[in-house]
Chain A
Amino acid sequence: MYKIVLKETLATAVVKMMVHAPYVARKAKAGQFIILRVHENSERIPLTIADYNREEGLITIIYQVVGKATMDLNNLEEGDYIHDFVGPLGKPSEIENLKKAIVVGGGVGCAIAYPIVKALAEQNTEVYSVVGFRNKEMVILEDEFASHSDKRVLMSDDGSYGSKGFVTTGLEGLLEEHKDIDCVFAIGPIIMMKNIAAVTRKYGVKTVVSMNSIMIDGTGMCGGCRLTVGGETKFACVDGPEFDGHLVDFDEAQSRNNIFKNQPAHSFEEDKTCQLLKEVENGK
């Protein structure tokens, strides 16, 4: 059992938790994820490691309430326990030898993008960040991105905060300005990562995306998280979750993430509050 030592709401339905998980904290690196199971009958869901504290054995996760599993998690409070919490899983981000990089985060994907920005900044890579949100209410980690980036561009779909528009616009601006970017990291909804990859392909800049497939074990045992990269089948949990954005079949990945969408408890609609949550909000 894994104790929740802190719970904090960051934005509408976006919550940060710090969990005591010493085995995970001992080895965690940027780009890796955990799998948790809230209760005995809950499903296993993957969440990226947003931060860690090795000395105190703590792992920070940031999640958006999008379905039953995240809603059950959200019903736990500080001092409560998560039934199972395993990791770190997946390969760490490859960030060595980068002089200049751009990190793009969309919505709750910013929670995954932030540790990469931080790790890049710590190794003295010149790092620019582009973060995008639906509106002002959804903005998270604003100060964290600002303090670790050489420049931060904040976008909102409706223009209620920062610049109006999608992250692709902010990214294009930076790419026009800087012709010597070594790598772009893009993390967010699949459609966003697909669009980012289309932009960077034009500029010929290497692009790494973090894929959020449906997972069960997270250790390479089942292939539920498989996707096509450069024409080959890869397992996101052990071969990734980061892949070359110019080689990923995003349409297939999008379709595979929709397999359970008709089951009431399993809405994988990205960046949208699911029906279940709406019902809760409406007091049904």
Chain B
Amino acid sequence: MANKTQRTLMALKDSKERITNFEEVALGYTLEEAMAEANRCLECKNKPCVSGCPVAIDIPKFIHEIKAGNLEKAFEVLSEYTSLPAVCGRVCPQETQCEALCVRGLKGEPVAIGALERFVADSHNGILKTVPSETKGIKTAVIGSGPAGLSCAGTLARLGYDVTIFEALHETGGVLRYGIPEFRLPKAIVDREINALKKLGVKIEKNVVIGRSLDLKDLEDDGFKAIFIGTGAGLPRFMNIEGENLLGVYSANEFLTRINLMKAYEAKSDTPLYLGSNVAVVGGGNVAMDAARSAKRLGAAHVYLIYRRSEEEMPARREEVEHAKEEGIEFKFLCNPLEILGNENQYVSGIKCIDMALGDVDQNNRRRPHEVEGSEHIIAVDNVIMSIGTMANPLIKTLGIDINHQGLIETNEVGQTSNLSVYAGGDAVSGAATVINAMGKGKQCAYEIHNEFMSKREA
């Protein structure tokens, strides 16, 4: 390799072509590219990258196998630590995790760890030859089939437990299914990783809402000895401004669920979606990027991304912001909605905004935005998609375990709730965070459940 300071670039679909469909944008490495990139890894003894990974994958070890072209071995290494490598290689914010600590990053670009993880997972059918260790015949229940639940279930199954996942929707995957669009995470990938879990013996019961169809007592009565709750933080926030209930205002969750879960963009789907030609998306996170880029793909002429701080403060991944820009999303930074306007039939006709300026640094070390007097202006739009975050699901309250003032589940440091045989992790405990953090917690809770049973057995 001539230039070791720069990473091997991954091929992308052309931006003009890609906005006409929902196909995956990033195309992944070829074997040659992956091996070239793997060769940039210095295989540091102290492995700083590993401490940046929430599930502590032995990164140099799997990369070492890629260097030799030994992809089967590389996949085995990954599988020791993660249940969803093809997902995490795609959606983790590596720039703030593993890659942020890569030694290569000190003088140039860090090793593309995420892209390599993705490459290994994609080259494999996801199913390990090894069978789970002896089955213990102990029934465990996992509530929610999002990243936290899938990771917990996969780990428990590998440790030999009899695992059943309960999912409220008609499809598994949680945010991987209804939230993250096909162009970032193909659903075939999610299916494959979930099938791998089934091969491990994990049972899945869909259309079961915990707190309504079943409660914790029912699960205990049905013989489940340990329960993990990974129900996420799905309740969308609204701004509580005038006009938010007009026709054409969606939460990002509703908009993305109609698109991703219900496939409203496909002719064969019966689920409707009302979308005009000018769309405003409010917010600056990954979900806002997903909503804006989806609206563009559905044929909107103008998609405005309205964010009250500046580009620098945006919580969305850099890569997604760049992709959104290339696709023609029009960013309105330092701009905040005051009111949504409607026509005589109650449909959205515009959004009234005010310019913002950044002031003093607040206690979270972010510069606080304030309104610029007299800068009110109206942007003509047909839809407004609110993407300003989510809160705890209210059904958590019905479970009889302790929750905090934000409605999130209280746990001790090992993930145990106030009911000691019930563990919880992911967004249901932390509030909205990342896929990999949820997976890390799910995995941690699985080991805690296992330790608990092992110590009981010895006692």
Contact = CB atoms under 8 A, between A and B. Distances in A.
Contact of B393 (A220, A252, A266): A220
A88 B213 contact: yes
B240 interface: yes
A83 B170 contact: yes
A223 B236 contact: yes
B268 to A, nearest CB: 5
Contact of B238 (A72, A223, A239, A258): A223
- Across the A-B interface, give the 6 residue pairs with the lowest CB-CB distance, nearest first: A222-B254, A86-B207, A221-B234, A84-B170, A43-B271, A255-B346
B251 A223 contact: yes
Contact of B253 (A41, A43, A223): A223
Interface string B384-398: 000000000111000
A23 B207 CA distance: 9
B269 A41 contact: yes
B395 A238 contact: yes
21 contacts: A24-B213, A27-B213, A32-B212, A41-B268, A43-B270, A44-B271, A84-B207, A85-B207, A86-B208, A86-B209, A221-B235, A221-B236, A222-B257, A223-B251, A224-B250, A227-B245, A235-B235, A238-B394, A252-B346, A258-B247, A265-B270
B332 interface: no
A252 B207 contact: no
A173 to B, nearest CB: 35
Given A86-B209, A226-B245, A219 B214 contact: no
Nearest to A89: B212
Nearest to B210: A219
A282 interface: no
B446 to A, nearest CB: 25
Interface in B225-247: 234-236, 238, 240, 244-245, 247
Contact of B257 (A24, A27, A221, A226): A221
Interface string B186-224: 000000000000000000001111001110001000000
A265 B270 CA distance: 8
Interface string B323-337: 000000000000000
Contacts of B338: none
A31 interface: no
Nearest to B166: A23
- Please indicate which of the listed interface residues B170, B206, B262, B346 has the most CB atoms of chain A within 10 Å of its own CB: B170
A159 B337 CA distance: 53
A239 B394 CA distance: 9
Contacts of A72: 270
B270 A41 contact: yes
Interface in B150-175: 168-170
Given A233-B245, A263-B272, A265-B270, A224 B213 contact: no
Given A43-B271, A224-B254, A256-B245, A89 B207 contact: no
A23 B235 contact: no
Contacts of B393: 219-221, 238
Given A220-B234, A220-B395, A233-B240, A86 B213 contact: yes
Contacts of A233: 238, 240, 244-245
Contacts of A238: 393-395
Contacts of B453: none
A15 B393 CA distance: 34
Contacts of A258: 247
Interface residues of B, number: 41
A72 B208 CA distance: 23
B215 to A, nearest CB: 8
Q: Main secondary structure on chain A at its contact with chain B?
A: mixed
A271 interface: no
A42 B253 contact: no
Interface of A: 23-24, 26-27, 32, 37, 41-44, 68-69, 72, 83-89, 216-217, 219-224, 226-228, 233, 235, 238-239, 252, 255-256, 258-260, 263, 265-266
B368 interface: no
Contacts of A223: 235-236, 238, 251, 253-254
B263 interface: yes
Given A227-B245, A233-B244, A256-B247, A88 B212 contact: yes
Contacts of B395: 219-220, 238
A32 B398 CA distance: 15
A238 B396 CA distance: 11
Nearest to A264: B272
B170 to A, nearest CB: 4
A88 B258 CA distance: 22
Contacts of A260: 272, 274
B214 A23 contact: yes
A84 B254 contact: no
Contact of B274 (A41, A88, A259): A259
B379 to A, nearest CB: 21
B168 A86 contact: yes
Nearest to B268: A41
Given A41-B270, A260-B274, A222 B245 contact: no
A134 to B, nearest CB: 27
A87 B236 CA distance: 21
Residue with the greatest number of chain A CB neighbours at <10 A, chosen from B209, B345, B346:
B209
Nearest to B171: A84
Contacts of A220: 234-235, 393-395
A84 B266 CA distance: 20
Interface in B368-417: 393-395
Contact of A216 (B238, B244, B262): B262
Given A221-B234, A223-B254, A87 B212 contact: yes
A221 B262 CA distance: 14
A117 to B, nearest CB: 23
Contacts of A86: 168-170, 207-209, 213
Nearest to B393: A220
Interface in B265-309: 266, 268-272, 274
A252 B342 CA distance: 12
A85 B209 CA distance: 11
Interface in B311-353: 345-346
Nearest to B263: A41
